[in-house]
Structure 1
Amino acid sequence: MRFSTWKHTMVGGVAAAGIAVGACVGASATAAAAPSETPLNVTAQVSSQAVENLGLNARQAKGIQHHLQVRGYRPGAVDGYLGTDSWKAMQRSLREYHEYTGAIDGIVGPNTIKALQRMLKEYYGYTGAIDGIAGDGTRAAWARCGSAWADHYGY
């Protein structure tokens, strides 16, 4: 057999094998992707790992978490990472004192930011609009809040 004929035969065979394997993999991937009888709540799994410190360092975030813990809002671990449990605690606090009306879901959306801005305007020198956007002014006031609580609790 000449080399070029042998090469075409091998390439053709490998291509056919690849197509066959790809079809099997595609079938198993389709089967694996098919909906199960028990639907999974993927959003809850992803958001529970999300961290949004809004510019705070770990020390400032620990101060906020500790304050929420002392006040009975259950922020989870005081670890310097404002995850879903910390934001749910903050939303509970904001609902009680700063007109938060959204879901207690731990998602830092516009409604959470608006209530946070109301709190920051009242206590931490925020002078911007209550617009639900965590811009520079919101983040600076949030940092003052985190620093105050961190200093108070010795972080």
Structure 2
Amino acid sequence: MRALTKTLVGVTAAVGIATGSLATAGTAMADTSPAPRPAVAAVAAYNNLGLTKNQATGVQCFLNTSPTVNLDEDGYLGPKSWEAMQEFLNRSWGRNLVVDGIVGPATIKGLQYFLKHGNWGYTGKIDGIAGEGTRAAFARFGQATAKQFC
């Protein structure tokens, strides 16, 4: 009986497929190819650490004073801006940062060192956490450099 049922189902499916009148197909007939993904526009990630667009532009103007740096002064501190900042901290402040454009704890420590010893009013610990004091000192730096270099 099972063999007869399988045969009848198989024949019915074959006839239905051949004539195009099969309304439903089993999961074995389902299309398993992945659905096309919609196009996604690339979004540039940036991290201004609380700086206004004007202050971040000031940082970029300052970094552009280096002959090896050519940043768009757009007010968004993206990976290229942070790479330039890491290079500056290494070259001018004796830091030994990986130049990768990532704003991680090591980069924050380098920035804090600069903000403290460069007299930008940072008085906190060099702990790699971009807290209120780090952000305030970085904002002072950005505001001053916007006036001086832009």
Q: TM > 0.5 between the two? A: yes
Which residue matches 1:143? 139
From 21, 29, 46, give the equivalent of 1:20.
29
TM-score for both structures, normalised by structure 2: 0.72
* Residue 153 to residue 130, structure 1, CA distance change in 2 (3 Å): same
Cα displacement string for residues 96-115 of structure 1 (whole angstroms, at most 9, x for unaligned residues): 12232121110011111101
Larger Rg: 2
Map 1:1-155; keep pairs closer than 5 Å: 13-14=23-24, 16=26, 20-23=29-32, 25-26=33-34, 49-122=44-117, 123-154=119-150
Which protein is richer in helix relative to its size?
Answer: 1
Identity among equivalent pairs (%)? 45
Question: Structure 2, unaligned stretches of length 5 or more?
Answer: 1-22, 37-41
Cα displacement string for residues 55-78 of structure 1 (whole angstroms, at most 9, x for unaligned residues): 011111111101110133415211
Q: What is the aligned residue count? A: 123
* Residue 89 to residue 14, structure 1, CA distance change in 2 (3 Å): same
TM-score for both structures, normalised by structure 1: 0.70
The one-letter code matched in structure 2 to 1:125 is G
